[in-house]
C-alpha cells in the first residue's frame, strides 16, 4: 500500500509540475465538446438530448491523450525499468498508475460537465450534478484500468498514437453505453428505475477490469523470452 502511494504521489506531483501538459488534456476535452455541438447544429433541444453522449465521448477521446502521457514520463529515461528493479511488484505499479489516471480523468469532470451545463442550458440541481460527476467517475475508472494496461504495452511502439485507441475503444463499449445511459437517466428522469442496473454494469466492469488488469500487468511490462 505504501508503495502504491509513493508511486501515485510521484505521478501526481509530476502531473502538477507539468500542468501545462495536463491542461492540454482539459482543453482537448473542451474542444471536443464544442466540436460535437457544432456538428449537430444550433438546435438546443437536440444538443440537450445528446449531452450524455457528448460528455462520454469527450472523456473517451481525452483519455487516450492522458494515458499515453502517463507512460511517456515512464519511457523517457526508461524509468519504468527502474521501478521494476525495485522490490515493488508489478501489481502495486499497476494500481498506482491506474489510480493516477483515474484521478486525472475524474478531475476533468467539473470543467467539462460545467461547460456542458452552460452550453446546452441544462437545468440541473446539485443532486443531478453530483450524479453526472459520479457517472463520469465510474466511467473514468473503467477507462483507466484497461487503458493503463494497454498504454504500458503500446508506449513501446512507434505506432502508439493509433494503437491505443484501436485496442481500447472496442473494449470500453460497455463503459461508453453504461455511462451514457446512466447520465441520460440522471439528466432526463428515470421513470422505470433503470439507473441502478446501468450503474451496476459500470461497477461490474470496473471491478472485473481492476482485478484482471492488475494480474496481467506483469506480462505487459516484463520482457519475455
Q: Mask of contacts with another protein, 82-101, x by CB under 8 A?
A: xxxxxxxx------------
We find the least distance from the C-beta atom of residue 115 to another protein, in angstroms, to be 26
In this chain, which of 1, 38, 42, 77 binds another protein, going by CB under 8 A? Answer: 77
CA 177 to CA 168: how far, in whole Å?
A: 14
Segment interacting with another protein (CB under 8 A) among 45-53, 58-66, 106-114, 148-156: 148-156
Phi and psi of 111, rounded to 5°? -65, -55
* Residue 20 to residues 17, 25, 66, 86, 107, Cα–Cα distance (Å): 8, 9, 13, 30, 15
- For another protein, give the closer residue by CB, 44 or 79: 79
Nearest alpha carbon to residue 86 among 209, 211, 181, 2: 2
204-223: contacts with another protein (CB under 8 A): 204-205, 208-209, 212-213, 216, 219-220, 222-223
In this chain, which of 159, 191, 192, 193 binds another protein, going by CB under 8 A? Answer: 159
| Under 8 Å between Cβ of 205 and 178 | yes
Q: Mask of contacts with another protein, 15-54, x by CB under 8 A?
A: --xx------------------------------------
Cβ-Cβ contacts under 8 Å for 94 (sequence gap 6 or more): 148, 149, 213, 214, 217
- For another protein, give the closer residue by CB, 115 or 167: 167
Chain-centroid distance, C-alpha 178: 14
The sign of the dihedral angle between the CA atoms of 161, 55, 109, 147 is negative
DSSP symbol at 1: -
How wide is the angle at C-alpha 134 spanned by C-alphas 130 and 136, nearest 5°? 120
- Report the interface residues with another protein, using CB under 8 A: 2-3, 6-7, 9-10, 13-14, 17-18, 73, 76-79, 81-89, 146, 149-150, 153-154, 156-157, 159, 163, 166-167, 170-171, 173-174, 177-178, 181, 194, 197-198, 201, 204-205, 208-209, 212-213, 216, 219-220, 222-225
Amino acid at each position: 500500500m505504501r508503495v502504491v502511494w509513493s508511486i501515485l504521489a510521484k505521478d501526481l506531483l509530476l502531473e502538477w509540475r507539468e500542468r501545462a501538459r495536463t491542461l492540454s488534456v482539459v482543453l482537448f476535452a473542451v474542444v471536443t465538446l464544442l466540436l460535437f455541438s457544432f456538428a449537430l447544429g444550433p438546435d438546443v433541444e437536440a444538443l440537450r438530448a445528446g449531452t450524455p453522449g457528448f460528455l462520454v465521448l469527450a472523456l473517451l477521446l481525452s483519455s487516450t491523450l492522458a494515458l499515453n502521457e502517463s507512460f511517456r514520463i515512464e519511457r523517457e529515461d526508461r524509468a519504468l525499468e527502474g521501478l521494476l528493479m525495485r522490490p515493488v511488484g508489478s501489481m502495486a505499479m499497476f494500481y498506482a498508475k491506474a489510480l493516477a489516471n483515474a484521478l486525472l480523468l475524474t478531475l476533468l469532470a467539473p470543467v467539462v460537465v460545467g461547460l456542458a451545463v452552460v452550453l446546452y442550458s441544462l437545468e440541473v440541481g446539485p443532486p443531478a450534478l453530483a450524479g453526472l460527476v459520479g457517472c463520469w467517475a465510474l466511467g473514468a475508472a473503467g477507462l483507466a484500468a484497461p487503458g493503463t494496461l494497454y498504454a504500458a504495452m503500446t508506449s513501446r511502439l512507434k505506432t502508439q498514437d493509433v494503437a491505443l485507441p484501436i485496442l481500447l475503444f472496442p473494449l470500453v463499449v460497455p463503459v461508453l453505453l453504461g455511462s451514457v445511459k446512466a447520465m441520460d437517466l440522471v439528466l432526463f428522469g428515470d421513470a422505470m428505475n433503470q439507473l441502478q442496473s446501468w450503474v451496476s454494469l459500470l461497477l461490474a466492469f470496473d471491478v472485473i477490469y481492476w482485478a484482471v488488469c492488475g494480474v496481467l500487468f506483469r506480462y505487459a511490462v516484463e520482457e519475455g523470452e
